[in-house]
Chain A
Amino acid sequence: MSNRVAITGMGIISSIGMDLEENLNSLKNSRHGISKIEHIDTKLKDKILVGEIKKTNQELESILKLPQKNSWSRTSMIGTIAALEAINNAGIDVKSDSDIGFINATTVGGMDMTERYFYDFIDNPENRRYIQSHDAGNNTHNICDYIGLNGFVTTISTACSSAANAIMLGARMISSGRLDKVIVGGTDALSKFTMNGFNTLMILSDTYNTPFDENRKGLNLGEGAAYLVLESEKSYKKRNKQPIAFVSGYANANDAFHQTASSEDGEGAFLAMKKAFEVAELTPKDIDYINVHGTATPNNDLSEGRAIINIYKDSEKVPEFSSTKPFTGHTLAAAASIEAVFSIFALREGLIFPNLNFKDKMKEFDLTPVAELGHKEVNTILSNSFGFGGNCSSLIFTKSH
């Protein structure tokens, strides 16, 4: 288990809670965060449901005590809230420790502000401060400046697998000895740009998303942010910190099939899972639970299901699995880190969170997700994330004993 990297802290904000405790409570009580959109003025308002954090930008600004004239996107603000909780949870002092890195993930960056003022910038000098908040890295810089982190900082954007890749890079930076501690994860706010983009692809559901269901109609977009603190053995032992779990396996592969669709047999997904097992030095039968990508689009769930069956050779051997996207919606670049936090909850609490809204098994294969909250000892979890550009990532989390 030479590749194992400790997780010593985490933080989260999503449509089911403003922090770790609220998220766990919602998961335990099957309380989802899917609703009509309230904070963005869009024509899609009555056509789609989303996982929206029910705080206005002004409310988020006041939580962070930002000056009135700031140039922060919503993505930066929710990212900072989750990063602060992760730092606090890990008990690290970012300002005095120059060896802490930050690896962020985002797809929208400051698009929520760009789409608001794009043409208005020309005539209205007042809002021009938001011009430079567009690029993804600016959002990461805002978070780092707020938390006082100076050091190794980068950002990954590989669509819906972005945060999985941030976690993977963090684990590699630790195991190669380049960093002792690193904050990893992703943040994405809802924007008209992404909602309309996914709408043109005709993969948005007009009702609650139902992953791995025969009658699934597509995904609900969501917003959120989550970060983990990864740490080397030397570092957490030195400060007498108990890890809360481990990142034991990780891999990324490309489906190389289509810019937005997954191949029918899910070859990229299969390769990512297979390589993650190799890195973890584990076999598929070691997995107690799979947190599937499970977006509830017809294409993803079919492709992912087939890839999982290919890994296990037989659908009967597939362990218990569920998608937690019916709780939060698909939070894009934050999805894999939000689901990493949920996976750590599952390891710690001995719980399997339900795939809400499930009714009928898909006709193509014999796979039934866990539909009610389950209680059992969970030691090893596989978590999948797949994105546009054929990007497929798998992570393996193990319990800290």
Chain B
Amino acid sequence: MENCYINGIGCISAQKSFEKDYLIEPIVYSEENILKVVKPNYKDYISPAAVRRMSSGVKNGIVASTMAINDAGIESPGAIITGTGMGCMQDSEKFLNNLINHDEEYLTPTSFIQSTHNTVGGQVALGLKCKAYNFTYVNTGVSFESALLDGLMQVENQDGQNVLVGGIDELADHTSKLYKLIKHTKSDDEAPYDIINKRTKGSISGEGAAFFVLDKEKTANSYCKLADVKFVNNLENSGLETFVNDFLASNDLIASDIDVILFGNNGDIEFDSYYDQLEPLFGEAAILYYKHLFGEFMTSSSIAVSLGSDILRSQSIPGALFKNEVSHPKGEIKNLLIYNQYRGKDHSLILLKNV
């Protein structure tokens, strides 16, 4: 297999992730069950007219992809691959609202056009005048992982071409209300929220956009190596350990080789047991979590890849990410594993390695 390096990152999230070392003093959320992104200065990246027209997901996608491209120091990628679980919900809601409340009259095309799942992929291509391969994945909890795997395959197959990969999801008001009704989002009356020590039904909802430039070549800016990605829709009973061990074995690793593991704990009493199951397997690793700072959304593992990449390049772990006690690994952080699942389905593993 060819080497695949992460050479540039752009991330818009519920933290000030557009700034360097933003987790030294993270924004701490305890009263909120919906975490919105900290807005970057959109006008630095997008024309004022477009800023007004575009939904926040599209804007965040454009800003994060531009940041990643600038960070990697490339002109235009050889492929653009995005993942989004819910797609452009704000424009979907706008069009639905007009459709239902105005009985199919007085509709305008703008929100329909912008509601398409591949809007971000299309807009990024349009902005860069990039005529290359352009895919969008929409498979709930592995939408971003699908894009990442495709990116890895593109790097294997393309000669000297870098690949832009990103995950984007946006919150939309009515849909957020609906997800509270079915308790996918934690109830309003449960605050303060503590996803580790107070598990209840549902998660803290979030949104964000994280983009990465993947390349066959290592550069001075390389964060880490993207070694492998794997995901499945369902795991049979007690299949989780086998799934993880098989994945590690296919990468010539065993569990004790993993120095840092990033878990997708979101405080959901129905599904966080998956992480509990794996914890003993990684007794020697630093066990981290992140959704208390970023919220849960279908492409939230894109945030994990951004965090993992930062940890590997800086060889240090922000204190706010430790799940139990702070225990920095002794020596070099070589192998970092990300495990995530979405409501008991779409289990995914991402392996990052130090370079």
- Residues of chain A lying within 8 A (CB to CB) of residue B140: 135-138, 140-141
Contact A254/B122 with A43-B105, A115-B99 known, Cβ cut-off 8 Å: yes
A150 touches which of B80, B114, B122, B234 (Cβ 8 Å): B234
| A259 adjacent to chain B (CB < 8 Å) | yes
Task: With both chains docked as a complex, state the minimum distance between the C-beta of B169 and any C-beta of chain A, in angstroms.
Answer: 10
The chain A residue sitting closest to B232, CB to CB, is A151
B119 touches which of A176, A193, A201, A389 (Cβ 8 Å): A389
- Residues of chain B lying within 8 A (CB to CB) of residue A199: 107
CB pair A121 B135 closer than 8 Å? no
The chain A residue sitting closest to B154, CB to CB, is A172
| A255 adjacent to chain B (CB < 8 Å) | yes
Q: Which residues of chain B from 104 to 155 have a CB within 8 Å of any chain A CB?
A: 104-105, 107-109, 112-119, 121-123, 125-126, 128-143, 146, 150, 153
- Residues of chain A lying within 8 A (CB to CB) of residue B136: 156-158, 389
CB pair B138 A254 closer than 8 Å? no
A196 touches which of B107, B114, B122, B139 (Cβ 8 Å): B107
CB pair B118 A42 closer than 8 Å? no
CB pair B134 A389 closer than 8 Å? yes
CB pair B130 A254 closer than 8 Å? yes
- Residues of chain B lying within 8 A (CB to CB) of residue A145: 234
B182 touches which of A128, A138, A172, A255 (Cβ 8 Å): A128
CB pair B122 A389 closer than 8 Å? yes
Chain B residues bordering chain A, tally (CB within 8 A): 66
Alpha-carbon distance A197/B108, docked complex (angstroms): 8
Best-surrounded residue of A44, A152, A154, A156 (most CB of chain B within 10 A): A154
Task: With both chains docked as a complex, state the minimum distance between the C-beta of A125 and any C-beta of chain B, in angstroms.
Answer: 8
CB pair B113 A254 closer than 8 Å? no
CB pair A154 B146 closer than 8 Å? yes
CB pair A121 B107 closer than 8 Å? no
Best-surrounded residue of B105, B108, B112, B150 (most CB of chain A within 10 A): B112
B121 touches which of A118, A158, A197, A253 (Cβ 8 Å): A158
Residue-wise interface mask of A (137-171) relative to B, using a CB-CB cutoff of 8 A (1 in contact, 0 not)? 11011001100011111111111000001000100
| A371 adjacent to chain B (CB < 8 Å) | no
B134 touches which of A44, A149, A176, A254 (Cβ 8 Å): A254
| B179 adjacent to chain A (CB < 8 Å) | yes
| B181 adjacent to chain A (CB < 8 Å) | yes
Q: Which residues of chain B from 147 to 202 have a CB within 8 Å of any chain A CB?
A: 150, 153, 156-157, 174-175, 177-179, 181-182, 184
Q: How many A-B residue pairs have CB under 8 A?
A: 206
| B57 adjacent to chain A (CB < 8 Å) | no
Alpha-carbon distance A125/B139, docked complex (angstroms): 26
- Residues of chain B lying within 8 A (CB to CB) of residue A251: 133
Alpha-carbon distance A106/B236, docked complex (angstroms): 26
Contact A118/B135 with A131-B182, A141-B345, A259-B113 known, Cβ cut-off 8 Å: no
CB pair A155 B131 closer than 8 Å? no
| A64 adjacent to chain B (CB < 8 Å) | no
Alpha-carbon distance A201/B95, docked complex (angstroms): 13
CB pair B100 A118 closer than 8 Å? yes
Q: Which residues of chain A from 101 to 125 have a CB within 8 Å of any chain B CB?
A: 102, 104, 106-107, 109, 111, 114-115, 118-119, 121-122, 125
CB pair B233 A151 closer than 8 Å? yes
Alpha-carbon distance A252/B157, docked complex (angstroms): 14
Alpha-carbon distance A192/B105, docked complex (angstroms): 12
CB pair A131 B232 closer than 8 Å? no
Task: With both chains docked as a complex, state the minimum distance between the C-beta of A123 and any C-beta of chain B, in angstroms.
Answer: 10
CB pair A137 B122 closer than 8 Å? no
Nearest 5 CB-CB pairings of A with B: A389-B122, A137-B140, A197-B112, A157-B117, A153-B233
A-B contact list, 7 entries, CB within 8 Å = A114-B96, A135-B138, A149-B233, A153-B231, A156-B137, A253-B133, A257-B126
